[in-house]
Amino acid sequence: MDAPLRERLLRIYAETKTIAVVGASHDPSKPAHTIPSYLQRQGYRIVPVNPHGGELFGEPVARSLAEVDGPVDLVEVFRPAIEAPEIAREAVKAGAKVLWLQLGIESEEARQVAEAAGLTVVMNRCMGATHGELGLGPGP
């Protein structure tokens, strides 16, 4: 990873306290469960977002980003790329500073929506693995 990207990613982790996880899963075998769980163990507040509601990671599950109570620094997305532009619009409304599309998820439209509103965008990168790669924790 080149130095500018490394610095940008380190800054994201340093400035992030609350992560809304869109598509968080109750299934412990899925990355949408293991990655947020890992990040929570590293000290981040995880706000799960899933239309099924309930409770996850010791937090109430918001049914949408619009339902999230309180500030959100970063929106982490575990949903298909086709849904990313709408999630980007919701992230803007939620006041997030970063839109992070997990490994395998890319959307130029979502990037344009988010960047036009001043958000930093990371695509096609695992937030947990990157945390480990940067030496910020053991990795998931």
Boundaries of every domain in the chain: 3-132
Per CATH, the architecture of 3-132 is what?
3-Layer(aba) Sandwich (3.40)
Find the radius of gyration of the CA atoms of the chain: 14
Q: What are the 10-residue block averages of pLDDT along the chain, 140 residues in total?
A: 95 98 97 98 98 95 94 97 98 97 98 98 98 96
Residue 62's DSSP bridge partners are 49
pTM: 0.97
Cα dist. 103→24, 57, 62 in Å?
A: 14, 21, 23
